[in-house]
Structure 1
Amino acid sequence: MTNSMVEQVGSARATRVLLACGVVAGPLYVAVTLIQGLTRDGFDPRVHTFNVMTTGDLGWLQRTNGLLTGVLIVLFAVGVSQVLRTGRFAGWGPRLLGLYGAAIIVGGVFPSDPQPGFPAGTTAEMAQTTWHGVVHQGARGGGYVILTAASLVIAWSLAAEGRRAWAWFTVAAVPILGTVMLVAHNPLAPAANGTDNPIVRLAFFAPLGLTWAWTVAFAVHLYRRTAPSGREMRSTPAAA
């Protein structure tokens, strides 16, 4: 095996490790969040947003969850940049995806403001706006905008490769989240501060699950496109 082949094998393996981070990120975030949602005293998904769990005595759990997830998404973005290279603006997809991971990290560093009822015993008077809460909300809202932009660029690259089914799936899954979650995190919107209709409140979590499902599926898709041995990665594969 020549030195060039050895380098190709090492590069392919490194890329697969980076892409595997995208496979792990979604399940990790969702599992830790759901476990906390079911066990933390005072949390009610019909009233509270999941990011409120970054505050309180056990807030470090969800903040750590955000930090780890954000780092995994940044690493995943590096892997995406090694595979998705077709299209005029192909490089911007991974860059924006990395910025989205950075936004998740910021949201993990700064806790959100408490909401009435959470942490347990918090009253409406106690749930005041703080500077770190504003930073947290800004990172969350900005992250959704960045992810939406990333998905559109990635969809463009996938379409350029002839993978139109993946392009449409990307457009259908992610921008929906951006729109819905921006409304949910708008302080002027009722959904941001709770609603009397629990079905409406719970409906805001559906796009979040859809987007994490897209992240995992997209990561697996790219992972399979990398060569398992010394063969070169297919930067412009045939349409699926």
Structure 2
Amino acid sequence: MTTTHTPAATTTTRVPTRTLLGCVAVAGPLWAVLSVAQAATREGFDITRHPLSALANGSPGWLQVANFIVAGVLTVAGASGLRRVLHGTRGGTWAPRLVRGYGLAMIAAGLLRMDPGAGFPAGTPDTVPTSMSWHSYGHMAAGTVAFACLITACYVLGSHYRRAGNRRDAALSRSAGTALLAGDLWASGGGTAGSLTLAVGAIAAMVWISVVAARYRRAAR
């Protein structure tokens, strides 16, 4: 008797492009809304003095930790959607890679909490710490990578839109990247209300990436 062996059928699960783009579309606004809401309600928090990352400290700090991680995971997943819709275009290789790098750095920033200081959380000495823990150094490194990827992604998308003849979106994309770059430099240089300018720049760039993803999602319907 002859026995015939039939190869097992293989199936490939492909997440729909619109679903992936939806992940990026909600990531920026979600992070921004939750961060601003906490900034407005947490006792002792002053947006002109304290970076939004500081919200990860204190008993409700788990919410900001989760905010970073969830937004990062959504962004990493959604970068694959951007890669599909941008394939073959100028910036179609590097924009998704930079968005994915930014998402990974967001996850790391959530896992590595910055140290408390400057009077937050309430009861913390109203001074800048003279030394930092290893996880605070890690948070700063992750933040640097996230901002660098996000700024560059905005400029790459600006070049993509310019090449396509869309001068308005090219200008908006570059403006979003410049807002984050300027806010980061101002805060790093100890400028007045540096935390506020950094927050505005970061939210502008994050939301712009979400807007780009949302537009491509509608076009893919």
Q: 1:152 to 1:202 in 2, by over 3 A?
A: closer
1:39 pairs with 2:41: yes
Q: Contact 2:151 / 2:178 at 8 angstroms: preserved in 1?
A: yes
C-alpha distance after superposition, 1:115-165 (max 9, x if no partner): 221011111568341111111011112211111222222222333333332
Amino acid corresponding to residue 121 of structure 2 in structure 1: P
Counterparts of 2:164 and 2:127, CA distance in 1? 55
SS at match of 2:114: coil
Indicate the residue corresponding to 1:235 in structure 2: none
Counterparts of 1:125 and 1:214, CA distance in 2? 35
Q: Contact 1:18 / 1:78 at 8 angstroms: preserved in 2?
A: yes
Indicate the residue corresponding to 1:216 in structure 2: 210
Indicate the residue corresponding to 1:236 in structure 2: none
Q: 1:201 to 1:144 in 2, by over 3 A?
A: closer
Indicate the residue corresponding to 1:231 in structure 2: none
1:35-74 to structure 2, matched below 5 A, reads: 35-74=37-76
Indicate the residue corresponding to 1:24 in structure 2: 26
1:152 pairs with 2:147: no
Tell me which stretches of 4 or more aligned residues in structure 1 moved more than 4 Å: none
Q: Contact 1:23 / 1:219 at 8 angstroms: preserved in 2?
A: yes
Q: Contact 1:52 / 1:112 at 8 angstroms: preserved in 2?
A: yes
Amino acid corresponding to residue 190 of structure 1 in structure 2: G
Unaligned 5+ runs, structure 2: 1-12
Counterparts of 2:39 and 2:91, CA distance in 1? 39
Q: Percent identity?
A: 33
Indicate the residue corresponding to 1:234 in structure 2: none
Counterparts of 2:110 and 2:195, CA distance in 1? 23
1:169 Cα offset (Å) = 1.5
TM norm structure 2:
0.84
1:60 Cα offset (Å) = 1.5
Indicate the residue corresponding to 2:166 in structure 1: 163
Counterparts of 1:134 and 1:64, CA distance in 2? 19
C-alpha distance after superposition, 1:50-96 (max 9, x if no partner): 11111222221101100000011111211100101243552111011
Indicate the residue corresponding to 1:206 in structure 2: 200
Q: 1:133 aligns with which of 132, 136, 154?
A: 136
Indicate the residue corresponding to 2:110 in structure 1: 108
Q: Contact 1:46 / 1:201 at 8 angstroms: preserved in 2?
A: yes
1:181 pairs with 2:184: yes
Amino acid corresponding to residue 203 of structure 2 in structure 1: G
Q: 1:154 to 1:203 in 2, by over 3 A?
A: closer
1:108 Cα offset (Å) = 0.4
